[in-house]
Structure 1
Amino acid sequence: MELILSICLIASPGTCREEAVSVGIEMPPAPVQCMLGAMPVIAEWRETHPKWKVLKWRCAQPGAAGREI
């Protein structure tokens, strides 16, 4: 499974994109499984990318990201 994060630069809120983060949960995840598995992954991603703000996220199959928003 991948988490698709919708992110924007903190210093330039108009600069936004989607970022895919791999998570070791089998597809299709139950909604609760996705929610519980996503939170620590998102927290870790935010720690390593301090210039970006996560606006929203969703669970997806691998390869679903890459679109500009």
Structure 2
Amino acid sequence: MLALVMTVCLQADPSHCKEERIEFTGSPMACLVQGSPIIAEWGYDHPDWTIKSWKCGAVAS
């Protein structure tokens, strides 16, 4: 299983960052293509955070 792996930082304190993972069902190519809208929705739902980077990776066990 894949996950969208994002590095997000607090807007009020950009030095405070963390990793967020969203499970994704599909191929690695689908993750790359369909990831942007999912990440945009996450950003909309979490307005205090800024998404610095993202990638598709394995789900952490």
TM-score, normalisation: structure 1: 0.78
Q: Distance in 1 between matches of 2:54 and 2:36?
A: 10
Residue of structure 1 in register with 2:7 after alignment: 6
Unaligned ranges ≥5, structure 1: 65-69
Structure with the larger strand share: 2
Corresponding position of 2:42: 45
Count the aligned residue pairs.
60
Structure 2 alignment gaps of length 5 or more: none
- Please list every run of at least 4 consecutive aligned residues from structure 1 whose deviation after the TM superposition is greater than 2 angstroms: none
Pairs within 5 Å for 1:23-62: 23-26=24-27, 29-30=28-29, 33-62=30-59
Q: TM-score, normalised by structure 2?
A: 0.87
**CA RMSD, Structure 1 to Structure 2 (Å):** 1.4
State percent identity of aligned pairs. 33
